[in-house]
Amino acid sequence: MTIIEQPKEYKVIGTRPIRHDGLDKVIGKAQYGADLKLPGMIWGALTRSPYAHARIKRIDTSKAEQAPGVMAVITGADMPVAEAIEIETGEEVTNLAHASDKLMARDKVVYKGHPVAAVAAADQNAAIEAARLIEVEYEVLQPVLTVDEAMASGAPLVHEDYAGKDLGEETRNTNVADHFRHETGDTAAGFAQAAVVVEREFELTMVHQGYIEPHNATALWKSDGKIEIWTSTQGAFGVRSSVAPILRVPETDIRVTPLEIGGGFGGKIPIYLEPVCAVLSKKAGRPVKVVMDRKSVFEATGPTPGGRIRVKMGANDKGDITAAEVDLYYEAGAYPGSPVGAGAMCALACYRVANARVDGYDILVNKPKTAAYRAPGATQAAYAVESVVDEICQALGMDPLDFRLHNATREGDRRADGPVYPRIGNLEQLQALKDSEHYRTPLEREGADGRLRGRGVANGFWFNGGMQSCVTINVNSDGEVGLVEGSVDIGGTRASIAMQAAEVLGLRAEEVHPVVVDTDSVGYTDMTGGSRTTNATGYAAYLAAQNVIAGMKERAAILWESNADDVEFEDGVFSSKHDSELKVTFKELAAKLTETGGPLAASGSIRQRGSGGGFGSHLVDVEIDPETGKVDVIRYTAAQDVGKAIHPSYVEGQIQGGATQGIGWALNEEYFWSDQGVMENSTFLDYRMPTALDLPMIDAIIVEVPNPTHPFGVRGVGETPIVAPVGAVANAIHDAVGVRLTQAPMKPQRVLAAIKEKNGNGA
């Protein structure tokens, strides 16, 4: 792909227009998945396992079938048996048998909340009540609940027949689905050169994306065998390619319409309900809608893993990191596929480490299958690594940002997992944080009523994906254009994509009318996720707009009875290279399409490369009540290299939102498990996401080191900002009260216990 030279100044890019879908969203007219109503539509509800690990002995659906209003009842026996093969959805690999089993158990339930049956009935409450009437007899098995339990010899097996891999060798009778390693240099030699070596072990528990909109799906299995699906998803095409093999129908027979989505953060890439709704619909002969309750969202959709992480890092007295070892033990959940692979690649990505070893373990436990959550796998690793880096800085007496700048990876450096960095903005964004007013303002160490303050920094990295996108632009006779895209808009991407087309077309952002359509109406487009959408779909829009301009030049040539090569386009005006009298504006020409050959539509499609990655460093001040252990964030600044901010407000919003999720993760969010694998805090009351009262304003510093593989330099933004916060908060707590918290969340009870232990009066 050619690298396009950048225009010197942009007219649209970098401005802050009102997003195209904004009006509908502030007047309550935007249609989200649960808002859909169809003629004849009925409601579904699921019966879920109360046990984390049990064999299904018998299911009796007879009472449910006779309950008032019930039109269909299904169990695992009604679901097609999917092939045990691996498919790629987006760039994730899904084992179909696992994906199918996760939706509806057949022989064995492997997590609490695992569906075992489903009911469709005239209204939602009738379906819920009927689902309660399904009787299931279980043989309860001992659940495997932590990575340590799972790896212990003689541990119960989550899947008896699963073959794991240990450094490429097949293993049997294990809960370790995979163990892999990255290695570079000689760590023993590196540690031998170190003046300071810090080794620590960290523990985390699962946390959830916490989107406010519960999962939902509506399906209609039509009499001609075709299936219509309406759902809140991050990727309609991904739903199609997952549902087709699970239901064993051709992809072509499925049309997925993505409705507005109320948050996802990675958690709405996998499917949970769609095939179940479809099978219920086939049986009932009507469209069936299921909306999950919040408890099921927590218990039975994909959180990000907890686990254990060991980090050993050494540095010499000049402040060079000489060696590092990282062992990542991540919970996969009940099926293989934790984000430990990404965690391993991100763990040391911010630092030049000549001698490094990273081992990753993907471990089966009787908990919900993990799913992507904003920079999946990276935050956990960064919490551990950034905490250890903080300790090294203290041991060496170095400023934490100077140390990070001194060791920062830059273009040409080799990552621990092998590849060499292209142009990246790690140094630039670290320097921006160092130059911030926040960092230059010394912290008052004492707050009111004896509260103690501390300051912490941490750095973070995420790859930022490219992947596939397609956009079609239709020119309207009034000179405005429709932009047809397959990228679900989860946070302002209609605007950021339309703006890129507008820039090329010489239109205002408002003159481009983006619409997100179903899988039959646009070319294949990967999910909105991986910080890829403004980059790749924006690129597709750029290409489509270029093709529109090329087509319009031909129309101008027809108009002037000349040749398209003679037409140039600048500032919204087509003109002849040879006759300065011949000029026509985009709008004027659009009105003449009929007489110059008919409608003009043009598409752009791309399989975009990565972006070189995004780096973001965060700075946080906390205030701690030393008598209760409560930590309040009182000031927060985040700097990030985003390549190019198309719509700066939404870029800031991504950074602020990511930081906030990270703060929640650091301080209070957790899956609190019973000893039987039941999540005890499956409500927003007890899951404790931050409220407006728990946060200060969050300053976002946008740094722009253009991505050379994108015409406008976009790198993507959404994921990087969740990587640094947990480590930054841990470092701030240490700065305030002198204790190193190695368990997340760093909830008051843990902070207080650590303070008491340090003061020698631990209980």
Partner 1 sequence: MTTAPASQKIILNTTVNGQEHQLLVAPYHSLLEALREAAGLTGVKEGCNDGNCGACTVSLDGRIVDSCLVLAAEAEGRQVQTVEGIAPDGQTLHPLQQAFLEEAALQCGICTPGFLVAAKALLDREPDADEDRIRLWLAGNLCRCTGYDKIIRAVQKAQG
Partner 2 sequence: MPTLFIPIHMRRFTGGAERVEVEGATLRHALNQLAERHPAVMDEIVQGDRIRPGLAAVVDGEQTVEGLRAPLKPASEVHFLRPISGG
Partner 3 sequence: MHPFQYLAPTSVAEAVDALARYGDRARALAGGTDILVQTRTGRFDLDAVVDVKRVPELTALTLGEDGLSIGAAVPCYRVYEDAEVAGLYPGLIDAASLIGGIQIQSRASLGGNLCNASPSADGICPLIVHYGQAHSAGPDGRRSTPVEEFCVAPGRTILEPGEFLVSIELPRPPAGFGGAYQRFIPRNEMDIAVVGVGSSLTLNAAGDRVESARVALAAVGPTPILAHAAGDSLVGKTPGIDAFREAGELAADAARPISDMRGDVNFRKELVRVLTRRTLTTALERAQS
Of 745, 757, 710, 644, the closest CA to residue 12 belongs to 644
**Residue of the chain from 12, 13, 34, 729 that contacts partner 1 (CB under 8 A):** 34
E strand segments, 292-377: 307-315, 321-333, 356-364
Beta bridge partners of 115: 48
Least Cβ distance, residue 684 to partner 3 (angstroms): 8
Nearer to partner 1, 19 or 455 (CB): 19
Integer Cα distance of 563 and 555 in angstroms: 9
Contact call for residue 48 and partner 3 (CB under 8 A): no
Asked if residue 34 lies in contact with residue 291, where contact means CB atoms within 8 angstroms, the answer is: yes
Q: Is 636 helix (H, G, I), strand (E, B) or coil?
A: strand
Site string for partner 1, 248-267 (x = CB under 8 A): ------------xxxxxx--
What is the amino acid identity at position 180?
F
- CB-based contacts of 487: which residues, under 8 Å, 6+ apart? 469, 493, 497, 516, 525, 528, 533, 537
Question: Cα–Cα distance between 425 and 706 in angstroms, integer?
Answer: 8
Nearer to partner 1 by Cβ, of 400 and 657: the residue is 657
Judged by CB, which is closer to partner 3: 567, or 663?
663
Question: Among residue numbers 203 through 242, which ones bind partner 1 (CB under 8 A)?
Answer: 209-214
Which of partner 1, partner 2, partner 3, none sits in contact with 627, Cβ below 5 to 8 A by type? partner 3
Which residue in 91, 749, 757, 759 binds partner 3 (CB under 8 A)?
749
What would you report as the CA-atom Rg of the chain, rounded to the nearest whole angstrom? Answer: 27
Q: Choose which of 62, 441, 674, 683 interacts with partner 1 (CB under 8 A).
A: 683
Nearer to partner 1, 575 or 661 (CB): 661
- Identify what 763 binds: partner 1, partner 2, partner 3, none; CB under 5 to 8 Å per kind: partner 3
Place of tokens 């109406």: 521
Q: What is the DSSP letter of 495?
A: H
The least distance separating partner 2 from the CB of residue 346, rounded to whole angstroms, comes to 9
Q: Counting contacts by CB under 8 A, is residue 708 touching partner 3?
A: no
C-alpha 325/C-alpha 191 separation (Å) is 10
Q: Is 294 in the site for partner 1 (CB under 8 A)?
A: yes
Stretch that binds partner 3, among 39-47, 381-389, 435-443, 678-686 (CB under 8 A): 678-686
Max Cα separation, the chain? 92
Length of the chain: 763
The set of residues, in sequence order, having a beta carbon less than 8 Å from that of 147 and lying 6+ positions away, is: 307, 308, 329, 330, 331, 361, 363, 365
C-alpha distances in Å from residue 745, one per residue of 310, 526, 663, 729: 17, 33, 9, 10
Q: Does 752 bind partner 3 (CB under 8 A)?
A: yes
Minimum gap (Å) between residue 694 Cβ and partner 3: 5
Taking the least distance from each CB to partner 3, the nearer of 31 and 125 is: 125
Picked from partner 2, partner 3, partner 1, none, the partner binding residue 466 (CB below 5 to 8 A depending on kind) is: partner 2
Sign, CA torsion 425/429/435/436: positive
Nearer to partner 3, 62 or 125 (CB): 125
Query: Can you list the alpha helix ranges (DSSP code H) found in 168-235?
Result: 187-192
From CA 732, how far away is CA 626, in angstroms rounded? 14
Question: Any residues with CB less than 8 A from the CB of 446 and at least 6 apart, and which?
Answer: 452, 453
From partner 1, partner 2, partner 3, none, interface partner of 562 (C-beta below 5 to 8 A by class): none
Spell out, one character per residue from 122 to 141, where the chain touches partner 1: x when CB under 8 A holds, - when not.
--xx----------------
Q: How far apart are CA 729 and CA 392, in angstroms?
A: 17
14 binds partner 1 (CB under 8 A): no
Q: Does 510 bind partner 1 (CB under 8 A)?
A: no
> Which residues, 6 or more positions from 313, have their beta carbon under 8 angstroms from its beta carbon?
197, 198, 199, 321, 323, 324, 325, 385, 388, 389, 392
Q: Which of 86, 444, 565, 627 binds partner 3 (CB under 8 A)?
A: 627
Could you give the CA distance from residue 595 to residue 611 in angstroms, rounded to a whole number?
43
Is residue 632 part of the contact set for partner 3 (CB under 8 A)? yes
Q: How far is 603 from 522, CA to CA, in rounded Å?
A: 9
Does 685 participate in binding partner 1 (rule CB under 8 A)?
yes
The site map against partner 1 for 96-125 (x = CB under 8 A) is ----------------------------xx
What is the smallest separation between the CB atom of 298 and partner 1, expressed in angstroms? 10
- Which of 27-35, 93-101, 217-225, 749-757 is the region at the interface with partner 3 (rule: CB under 8 A)? 749-757
Q: Using the rule CB under 8 A, is 212 a contact of partner 3? A: no
Per DSSP, the three-state class of 623 is strand
CB of 28 to partner 1, least distance (A): 2
DSSP class of residue 242 equals: H
Displacement of CA 620 from its chain's centroid (Å): 23
> Minimum distance from CB of 698 to partner 1 (Å)?
5
Task: Examine residue 484 and tell whether it contacts partner 1 (CB under 8 A).
Answer: no
Residues 284-313 that bind partner 3 (CB under 8 A): 295
CB of 732 to partner 3, least distance (A): 17
**CB-wise, 357 or 740, nearer to partner 2?**
357
Rounded to 5°, angle at Cα 330 from 327 and 333: 165
Q: Which of residues 105-144 bind partner 3 (CB under 8 A)?
A: 125, 128-129, 132
Site for partner 1 in 51-90 (CB under 8 A): 68
Nearer to partner 2, 304 or 500 (CB): 304
- Give the SS3 label for residue 489: coil
Q: Which does 649 bind (CB under 5 to 8 A by kind): partner 1, partner 2, partner 3, none?
A: partner 1
Q: Are strands 573-576 and 583-585 parallel, antiparallel or unpaired?
A: antiparallel
Q: Which of the listed partners (partner 2, partner 1, partner 3, none) does 628 bind, with a CB threshold of 5 to 8 Å by partner kind?
A: partner 3
Rounded CA separation 118/277 (Å): 9
Query: Is there binding between residue 456 and partner 1 (CB under 8 A)?
Result: no
Question: Does residue 748 touch partner 3 according to CB under 8 A?
Answer: yes
- Work out which of 396, 559, 573, 753 binds partner 3, going by CB under 8 A: 753
Residue type, 232: S
Residue 137 tokens read as 């007899």
Q: For tokens 């009875």, what's the residue?
A: 561
Question: SS3 for 13-71, per residue?
Answer: CCCCCCCCCHHHHHCCCCCEHHHCCCCCCEEEEEEECCCCCEEEEEEECHHHHHCCCEE
By CB under 8 A, is residue 291 in contact with partner 1? yes
| Residue 691 binds partner 1, judged by CB under 8 A | yes
The answer to whether 334 touches 102, Cβ cutoff 8 Å, is yes
By CB under 8 A, the count of residues binding partner 3 is 29
User: Is 336:401 a contact under the CB 8 Å cutoff?
Assistant: no
Q: Which does 341 bind (CB under 5 to 8 A by kind): partner 3, partner 1, partner 2, none?
A: partner 2
- The site for partner 2 (CB under 8 A) is made up of 86-88, 90-93, 165, 167-169, 180-183, 209, 264-267, 269, 341-342, 345, 371-376, 417-422, 462-467, 527, 529-532, 607-610, 612, 709, 718-719
How many whole angstroms separate alpha carbon 514 and alpha carbon 499?
Answer: 10
Which parts of this chain interact with partner 3 (CB under 8 A)?
125, 128-129, 132, 295, 627-630, 632, 667-668, 672, 680-681, 684-686, 688, 690-691, 693-694, 747-749, 752-753, 763
Which parts of this chain interact with partner 1 (CB under 8 A)?
16, 18-19, 21-23, 25-32, 34-35, 37, 68, 124-125, 209-214, 260-265, 291, 293-294, 490-492, 647, 649-650, 652-654, 656-657, 659-661, 683-685, 689-693, 695, 697-698
